[in-house]
Chain A
Amino acid sequence: MSSADFLLRNVLTADQVRVDIEVVAGTISRIGGELTSPFPVVEGNQNLVLPGLVDLHTHLREPGKESSETVLSGSQAAVKGGYLALSAMANTSPVADTAGVVEQVARLGRDAGLCDVFPIGAVTVGLKGESLAELAAMAHSAAKVRIFSDDGNCVSDPLLMRRALEYVKSFGGVIAQHAQEPKLTSGAQMNEGVVSSRLGLKGWPAVAEESIIARDILMAQYVGSRLHICHLTTKGGVELVRWAKSQGMAVTAEVTPHHLLLTDELANSFDPVYKVNPPLRTQADVSALRAGLADGTIDIVATDHAPHPSEEKDCEWSAAAFGMVGLETALSVVVETMIDTGLMEWEKLVDRMSLAPAAIGGYEDHGAIAVGRPANFVVVNPKERWTVDRRTLQSKSSNTPFDGRSLPAKVVHAFYRGVQVLNDGQLTGSKYE
């Protein structure tokens, strides 16, 4: 890996200003038009420079399911997709519910050395929803966990949720809730609606998501705590969050790229590559999610990158695992759905995919390109289209719903703490060449 000081020349910021950026010792030393610098030049070719993307919702599968993904392979996929900070979900094996496991994940991230890997701690022991995990121990560990989530499971017990919301206040933590009322979704396979009625797949009502969101925003307000809602998928959910924000409640919400683009009509193929939790919804929901992301009701895009081995998808729908990989396609899907449609400018995309998630997670080294800050940025060619090929994904798993789809925007270079980790779309460094 090249770690020398350098000058990135001739790039456009998100607000379309042409700049050069000088990096010395991993830190941005100067930003300006037409800089002269003694250091080697990296030519930016008038591409966009964006702060490295920040994902608050990544399943890295290590420890436990290293055949699907590891912290290293997930980091590689992240860099290819323009991400320089990941948040590793707790549903590993063993579950990340102790200081020991979160420290192990953080260490694996440092060893990979391609981007920051921030572990998320489980809210309850073993994700079982029965008793609180040692949240403070994880917060005070070397991993400095701030986000806690039972993602995959909902913290459905209202009393336990209340306690968790209250408890994390002492160290500025946030609970990221997977909103899914379990009884209303027992055995559910896809969105409940017109398509499920015809396919005879057990339905997953929108209200199962919305009822938990409604409960939790009220409860978070009541106990004076912060709440983050994972992967919003319904129109009603967007409206609830909009209302909560209008009341000044401390709630943030995320949407995944796939929920911004895909609908439950895809289940007509019975191909489980479209099976995901929460499920793909209707076109009306997709429109509401896009509008919510554009107007700031939804704060961030998060990938919910969920790798699965082929045997868990190469089967009938009901036997298949839930989830899609997303790190390498997220930026392109957001450009396709939000920029190319005219719903958002690039500055807003930077906010939703870098600045806002960094703020929610407390990731101070991320989210902005400014003098004196760590050089965590990426260069993106917004015009280049590319075709997703599941066989050439960097992730160890290939369960992408976008296989064969042509998408805009290609990540060209990535610099992590001043080190170029991606050069012309290729991972760099002897380890990866």
Chain B
Amino acid sequence: MKRAHLLSTQELTRADALEILDTARQLSRATDGAIRKLPTLRGRTVVNLFFEDSTRTRLSFEAAAKRLSADVINFSAKGSSVSKGESLKDTAQTLEAMGGELMIIRHSASGAAQRLAESGWVKSHIVNAGDGMHEHPTQALLDAFTIRSHFPEFDRDFTGLRIGIVGDILHSRVARSNAQLLTLLGADVVLIAPPTLLPIGVDTWPVKISYDLDSEISSLDAIMALRVQSERMNDAFFPSEREYAREYGLAGSRLRALKKNAIIMHPGPMNRGLEISAEGADSKQSVILEQVANGVLVRMAVLYLLMGGAPIPTEGVLV
């Protein structure tokens, strides 16, 4: 994969995606065998540039970088007065001046990672760790990795797998990245949400749209529940949490309607009792903790493929 950056799933080819997933799998075998630390990125510096609070994602990237022996600089804007755009440029330039070669950026502004990669502000490799409502490519990759490990007969081609993503599609970068990546790999993706939580224009996505979870659930091989942000209720996206849980919550009889080999996924953090019941989260079919473990592997693969080989000019993306 001759790429300088990982900005979105939109830019990935099927071959790129499989290369990342294959690399993660080989890393999984190597590290299963008790190799806790690889020297690959020794002496290289990775910057965690987190303008939005996300302890899990940051720790996952940090663990990935450290297992590859990279030095990690953490920047967190939490609680600081960073709000103007200038700060992204200044902060990135400052951290590059400290030796950063690859920046993992989490930002509330859609497009922040692409802007950092294409504006000419810095020369570093850029990895998008979630930008606004736009994309979260490593989350989609770890989800694909998790699905693949449970359906070995679909190893190189997800054609025939049906994957449901339930909930707040409108505001979800996880949904955007997954809809793109899983479709690219061949899966049928069904987005299940009330019309208020689906974006205008979603009809042009390569997915099926449904408002009715019950009519879809028994056909799914994997179901991904998205986190419901409590502030959505105040904006009248749905009338009440109770009504949302009743219509779209993964609970009760819906769990029993699932195929026996279907897997239950959630990008975390969960609202137990809202989008997913405790029973669902803890069920044998739940792979939510595997997703977390796989996140480290996929992120190791991304870091290795972006900065492990010969230096690639970071202006633009080479193919």
Contacts and interface: CB of A to CB of B under 8 A. Distances in A.
Interface of A: 189, 192-203, 205, 269-271, 311-312, 314-320
A315 B200 CA distance: 27
A203 B114 contact: no
Given A201-B132, A316-B107, A318-B132, A270 B201 contact: no
Interface stretch (B30-38, B80-88, B224-232, B287-295): B80-88
Interface string B108-137: 111110110011000000000001111100
Nearest to B200: A192
Contact of A197 (B86, B114, B135, B204): B204
Contacts of B84: 315, 319
26 contacts: A194-B204, A195-B201, A198-B176, A198-B201, A199-B110, A200-B131, A200-B134, A200-B173, A201-B110, A201-B133, A203-B200, A205-B200, A270-B115, A271-B118, A311-B85, A311-B86, A314-B89, A314-B119, A315-B85, A315-B89, A316-B107, A316-B109, A318-B85, A319-B83, A319-B86, A320-B85
Given A315-B85, A316-B85, A200 B200 contact: no
Residue in B83, B85, B119, B205 whose Cβ sees the most chain A Cβ within 10 Å:
B85
Interface residues of B, number: 30
Contacts of A269: 114, 118
A390 B176 CA distance: 35
Given A193-B201, A316-B88, A198 B10 contact: yes
Interface string B248-280: 000000000000000000000000000000000
Nearest to A315: B85
Contacts of B88: 315-316, 319
Contact of B200 (A189, A197, A201, A270): A197
B200 A319 contact: no
B201 A200 contact: no
Contacts of B204: 194, 197
Contact of A192 (B107, B109, B201): B201
B199 interface: yes
B33 to A, nearest CB: 40
B200 A193 contact: yes
Nearest to B135: A200
Contacts of A319: 83-86, 88, 109
What are the 6 tightest A-B residue pairs by CB atom distance, in nearest-first order? A315-B85, A319-B85, A270-B111, A197-B201, A200-B133, A200-B134
B199 A203 contact: yes
Interface in B78-102: 83-86, 88-89
Contacts of B173: 200
Given A197-B204, A317-B115, 20 more contacts: A192-B201, A193-B200, A194-B201, A195-B201, A196-B199, A197-B201, A197-B202, A197-B205, A198-B176, A200-B110, A203-B199, A203-B200, A314-B86, A314-B119, A315-B89, A316-B85, A316-B107, A318-B111, A319-B86, A319-B109
Contact of A201 (B10, B85, B111, B119): B111
Contacts of A193: 200-201
Residue in B83, B176, B200, B204 whose Cβ sees the most chain A Cβ within 10 Å:
B200
Interface of B: 10, 83-86, 88-89, 107-112, 114-115, 118-119, 131-135, 173, 176, 199-202, 204-205
A317 B86 contact: no
Nearest to B120: A314
Nearest to B177: A200
A314 B133 CA distance: 21
A283 to B, nearest CB: 14
A342 to B, nearest CB: 31
B84 to A, nearest CB: 6
B111 A316 contact: yes
Nearest to B171: A200
Contacts of A192: 200-201
A200 B114 contact: no
Nearest to A192: B200
Contacts of A315: 84-86, 88-89, 115
Residue in A192, A195, A319 whose Cβ sees the most chain B Cβ within 10 Å:
A319
Residue in A189, A196, A197, A314 whose Cβ sees the most chain B Cβ within 10 Å:
A197
Given A198-B10, A200-B173, A203-B199, A317 B205 contact: no
A225 B176 CA distance: 48
Contacts of B86: 311, 314-315, 319
B48 to A, nearest CB: 18
Nearest to A197: B201
B112 to A, nearest CB: 5
Nearest to B121: A314
A230 to B, nearest CB: 24
Contacts of B10: 198
Nearest to A314: B89
Contacts of A314: 85-86, 89, 119
B201 A318 contact: no
Contacts of B107: 316
Residue in A194, A205, A270, A318 whose Cβ sees the most chain B Cβ within 10 Å:
A270
Nearest to B116: A316
A383 B35 CA distance: 70
Contacts of B112: 316
Contacts of A271: 115, 118
B52 to A, nearest CB: 12
Nearest to A321: B85
B199 A197 contact: yes
Nearest to A312: B85
A318 B131 CA distance: 11
Contacts of B114: 269-270
Nearest to A189: B110
B201 A317 contact: no
Contacts of B200: 192-193, 196-197, 203, 205
Nearest to B198: A197
Given A197-B200, A197-B201, A197-B205, A318 B109 contact: yes
B201 A316 contact: no
